[in-house]
Structure 1
Amino acid sequence: MKRLVARLWRLIRGPLQWRILWLAHAKFMVGVTGVVRNEVGQVLLLKHRLWPPERPWGLPTGYAVKGEEFPLTVVREVKEETGLDVVPGRLLTVTSGYKLRVEVAYEALHTGGTLKIDGFEILEARWFDPDEMPAAMQDSHRKLIRSTEKA
């Protein structure tokens, strides 16, 4: 039976193979988060309108669009949500285990731009010292920020 399947697989080379693989495997969205710091080491946190009201504060986050390089997702999302310019840095984490999502996080450095928040998604944007972050913040983001302090 295995030989028959292997022979059939070789016969259907090309687009049909890829379509079968696509149908047979999980599809994921990729959420990309940026730990954005300024020149004095403060972290950019955003108060997100669409997040749970008891913990709306967190890092700039968004989904990669098809074909987009993940470090550039950080650049795009920060620009869209805040108007600020950043340069992506090193990869911090890749986390799976979510239903249809993989999470990727990068460091990023603020390089300029004028703060102008996206009023639909973001209520407020502020720079925080890592030891003075708001209580109403995503725990996973707090841990991510702390993990970068040790690096």
Structure 2
Amino acid sequence: MKRILARGWRIIRGPLQWRILWLSHAKFMIGVTGVVRNEEGQVLLLKHRMWPVERPWGLPTGYAVKGEEFPQTVVREVREETGLEVVPGRLVQVTSGYRLRAEIAYEALHVGGTLKLDSFEILEAKWFSPAALPEGMQESHVQLIKSGLPT
């Protein structure tokens, strides 16, 4: 039976294979976070309007759109939320195990742009020293920030 299935799979190559795979596998959203630093080593934190009131501060984050490479999600999200330009760097973390999403984090370097907040999503944006982060941050974001520090 396995040989018959394997032979059939090889015969239907191309779009039909992809359609079968698409229909038979789980669909996920990919959340992408940017650990954005400036030349002084400060990290960009945003006060998010839609996050819990007791934990509003966090890194720039958003969901990848169809066909988008994940490092470019960081570039797009930072630009949309703050008007700032960044260059993505190394992959910091991949976290799975959530029901319908996976989380990916990249380092990024601020290279320019003029601060202009998306007031629908973002209340405030500030640069912080990793040693003096604000109260009200997600612990996972604190860990991402500290993971990129020299030891």
Matches within 5 A, 1:28-47: 28-47=28-47
Structure 2 distance, partners of 1:9, 1:23, is 15
- Give the match for residue 63 of structure 1: 63
Per-residue CA shift, 1:50-78, capped at 9, x if unaligned?
11111111000011111111111111110
Per-residue CA shift, 1:15-46, capped at 9, x if unaligned?
22211111111111111111111111110000
- Give the match for residue 95 of structure 2: 95
Root mean square deviation, CA, Å:
1.3
Moved more, 7-16 or 118-127: 7-16
How far the C-alpha of 1:141 sits from its partner, in A, is 0.3
Q: Does 1:6 align with 2:28?
A: no
SS state at 1:20 partner: helix
Structure 2 distance, partners of 1:11, 1:87, is 43
Moved more, 13-22 or 3-12: 3-12
Residues 112, 14 of structure 1: CA spacing in aligned structure 2 closer, same or farther, 3 A cutoff?
Answer: closer
- Give the match for residue 138 of structure 1: 138
Determine what percentage of the aligned residue pairs are the same residue. Answer: 77
Structure 2 distance, partners of 1:107, 1:11, is 43
SS state at 1:22 partner: helix
- Give the match for residue 110 of structure 1: 110
- Give the match for residue 78 of structure 2: 78
Amino acid at match of 2:46: L
- Give the match for residue 147 of structure 2: 147
Amino acid at match of 2:50: L
Aligned pair count? 151
- Give the match for residue 124 of structure 2: 124
SS state at 2:145 partner: helix
Per-residue CA shift, 1:94-146, capped at 9, x if unaligned?
11111111111111111111111100000110111111111100110000001
SS state at 2:27 partner: coil
Gapped runs of 5+ residues in structure 1?
none
How far the C-alpha of 1:89 sits from its partner, in A, is 1.0
Amino acid at match of 2:77: E
TM-score (norm 1): 0.93
How far the C-alpha of 1:12 sits from its partner, in A, is 3.0
SS state at 1:149 partner: coil
SS state at 2:81 partner: helix
